[in-house]
Amino acid sequence: MTPYVVLSALLFSIGVVGVLTRRNAIVVFMCIELMLNAGNLALVAFSKQHGSLDGQVGAFFVMVVAAAEVVVGLAIIMQIFRTRKSADIDDVSALKW
């Protein structure tokens, strides 16, 4: 196992712990991005290990999807903050205005 895969697993674990323990929507959002980047690192590491470009192409598509997710996610969080004056995810669990 390469050090990149170990680093990827560590980053993914930190992201999972952040998603499960934090209540602020922005922090949860950043932890999700950390997990996506950990997945990208694993894809690129395995791609380099096997001498193929498939993992790097997959990582590129994940980055494109993550960029779109950032735009939509931040817009949703901003709208929730404007209406509820809080970014706590427990306030949003009711899904009613």
Which CATH number do you get for residue 52?
A: 1.10.287.3510
Domain hosting residue 50, numbered range: 1-84
Q: What pLDDT, on the 0 to 100 scale, is given for residue 16?
A: 96
Q: Is the pLDDT reported for residue 94 higher than 90?
A: no
Residue 36 lies in a domain: yes
Q: Is the pLDDT reported for residue 95 higher than 70?
A: no
Residue 93 lies in a domain: no
The one-letter amino acid code at 84 reads: R
Q: What is the mean pLDDT of residues 73-87?
A: 87
Contacts 24+ apart (CB under 8 A), 52-61: none
Structural domain count of the chain: 1
Residue 91 lies in a domain: no
Is pTM, for the whole model, over 0.75? yes
Query: Of all residues in the chain, what percent carry a pLDDT higher than 90?
Result: 56
Confidence of residue 97 (pLDDT cuts 50, 70, 90): low
Q: What pLDDT, on the 0 to 100 scale, is given for residue 92?
A: 74
Here the tokens at position 54 are 């498939």
Residue 90 lies in a domain: no
